[in-house]
Structure formats: C-alpha cells, structure tokens
C-alpha cells in the first residue's frame, strides 16, 4: 500500500465511527506526521451544534495528545460522501498551525481521491501571530 492508501484507509475507518446523528454527514480525516505516524479523526456532532468537532480537529487533537507539535503535519486526507468536502475555514486555520503552506490536502469521496490542494491554496491568507511562522 502507498502512503496515500494508508491515510485514505485510516480516514475511512475513522469516518465509520463518526457521531453524525444530526446532519447524517459523516466525515473522516487522517494526518501524516514527519515521523511517519498517522492520526485519524471523525466528526463528532453535539446537540449544541457549534460545540461539535470536525474530523480534522479530532485528528489534530489525537496528534497533539501523542506529543505532536507545529510543523509536524506533512500530508492530510479528508473523506466524506460528497464529491468535494474540503476542510471548513476553522479547520484550515487549525491545519495551518501544524503544517506548512506546501502540505498536500487530499479531498476524497468514499471511493477515492477527487482533488489534491496545498494548504496555501485552501487558505491563502492564513492568520499568523509571528512573521517567522508565515512559511514554516
């Protein structure tokens, strides 16, 4: 299996566990870190709708809980039962905290790859607190 296949499988397995009882729209995400670890997450909805978690946020939370830090994310897969389910604006900014502008984000439906974009293409004017963080 390729690195993409491993990420796609991890995202799909996480998606299968999504708690999407309100929207019925399950999403899975997987991130690859520079040390070769894969962290996956799914969306977790809540009756207080703004308090739910996106799949990308869940995957990043798992990575950080395991010791991951800014700059560790080198590749991302997002999968849903939609032609193009790109990360939401909040997740784009969260990913930008832990990845570089060149990090590939693969957008997939349940059958496979639909499109690959860089993080810079998804979030061209990301928010940064320090100039030295702009292009890490």
Tokens of 24: 């019925």
The span from the CA of 81 to the CA of 64, in Å, is 27
Confirm whether 75 is a catalytic residue.
no
Mean pLDDT of 48-52: 87
Q: Which of 45, 51, 56, 102 is catalytic?
A: 56
Hey, what CATH topology would domain 3-133 get? Cytidine Deaminase; domain 2 (3.40.140)
Domain locations along the chain: 3-133
Percent of the chain past pLDDT 90, that is, above it, reads 87
| Neighbouring-strand partners of residue 85 | none
The predicted-structure confidence for 94-118, as pLDDT tens digits, reads as follows 999 999 999 999 999 999 999 999 9
The predicted-structure confidence for 10-48, as pLDDT tens digits, reads as follows 999 999 999 999 999 999 999 999 999 999 999 999 999
The span from the CA of 59 to the CA of 69, in Å, is 13
67 near 49, Cβ under 8 Å?
A: no
């Amino acid at each position: 299996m390729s690195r993409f296949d491993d990420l796609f499988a991890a995202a799909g397995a996480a998606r299968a566990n999504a708690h999407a009882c309100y929207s019925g729209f399950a999403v899975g995400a997987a991130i690859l870190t520079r040390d070769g670890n894969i962290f996956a997450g799914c969306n977790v909805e809540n009756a207080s709708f703004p308090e739910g978690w996106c799949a990308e946020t869940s995957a990043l939370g798992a990575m950080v809980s395991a010791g991951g830090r800014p700059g560790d994310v080198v590749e991302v897969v997002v999968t849903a039962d939609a032609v193009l389910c790109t990360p939401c604006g909040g997740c784009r900014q969260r990913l930008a905290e832990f990845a570089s502008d060149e990090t590939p984000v693969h957008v997939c439906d349940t059958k496979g790859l639909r499109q690959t974009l860089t993080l810079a293409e998804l979030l061209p004017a990301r928010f940064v607190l320090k100039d030295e963080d702009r292009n890490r």
